[in-house]
């Protein structure tokens, strides 16, 4: 079949260009991230996942079985450590949160062991991670800048 034949021209015009499919895929993948980053932060409730704001010192609320590993009643949370809220007193002026540690599977002192119940002040935690900032940091790390 010759390239100038009507069938070849019709076939070239009916195939969608790949760049438009790529743009549509990017919009579909990025729209939830952008909407999530603009959504307001709601009140902290029991069962919510929160994150430690930087490296934080937390107090144990219940004694742990391996107390010999932790000579005092405190432990250290890594930056952005996930926690599950068990109890919340955010309505009080000096509010605190009782939470269960979810991250950091290593049980090395001074870090908080997984499933330990800790007590934190409200200024030590945040509810929603900065998604766009995390994406930016990941891209910068991949690109080596």
In a domain? residue 9: no
In a domain? residue 137: no
Q: What is the pLDDT of residue 6?
A: 57
In a domain? residue 25: no
- 97 has which bridge partners? 88, 120
Question: Strands across the sheet with 117-121, in order?
Answer: 74-77, 56-60, 117-121, 96-101, 82-88, 49-52, 125-126
In a domain? residue 118: yes
Is the torsion defined by CA of 77, 59, 83, 135 positive or negative?
A: negative
> Domain total for the chain?
1
- Taking 70 as the threshold, does the pLDDT of residue 13 lie above it? no
Question: Which helix (H) or strand (E) segment is 58 a member of?
Answer: strand 56-60
Model confidence over 74-121: pLDDT tens digits?
Answer: 888 988 889 999 998 866 767 889 999 997 666 677 888 888 899 999
Q: Mean of the per-residue pLDDT values for the chain?
A: 80
In a domain? residue 131: no
Percentage of the chain lying above the pLDDT 70 cut: 77
Threshold 0.95, pTM exceeds: no
In a domain? residue 105: yes
Half-sphere exposure of 26 (CA within 13 A, CB side): 6
In a domain? residue 117: yes
Q: What is the pLDDT of residue 28?
A: 95
In a domain? residue 23: no
Domain that holds residue 70: 49-126
- Taking 90 as the threshold, does the pLDDT of residue 16 lie above it? no
- Taking 70 as the threshold, does the pLDDT of residue 67 lie above it? no
**pLDDT category, 2, cuts 50, 70, 90?**
low
């Amino acid at each position: 079949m010759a390239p100038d034949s009507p069938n070849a021209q019709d076939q070239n015009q009916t195939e969608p260009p790949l760049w438009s499919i790529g743009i549509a895929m990017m919009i579909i993948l990025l729209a939830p991230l952008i909407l999530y980053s603009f959504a307001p932060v709601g009140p902290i409730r029991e069962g919510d996942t929160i994150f430690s704001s930087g490296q934080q010192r937390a107090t144990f609320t219940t004694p742990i079985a391996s107390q010999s590993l932790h000579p005092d009643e405190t432990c250290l949370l890594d930056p952005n450590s996930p926690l599950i809220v068990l109890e919340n007193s955010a309505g009080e002026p000096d509010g605190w949160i009782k939470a269960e540690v979810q991250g950091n599977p290593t049980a090395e002192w001074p870090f908080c062991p997984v499933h330990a119940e800790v007590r934190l002040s409200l200024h030590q935690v945040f509810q929603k991670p900065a998604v766009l900032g995390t994406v930016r940091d990941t891209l910068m790390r991949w690109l080596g800048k």
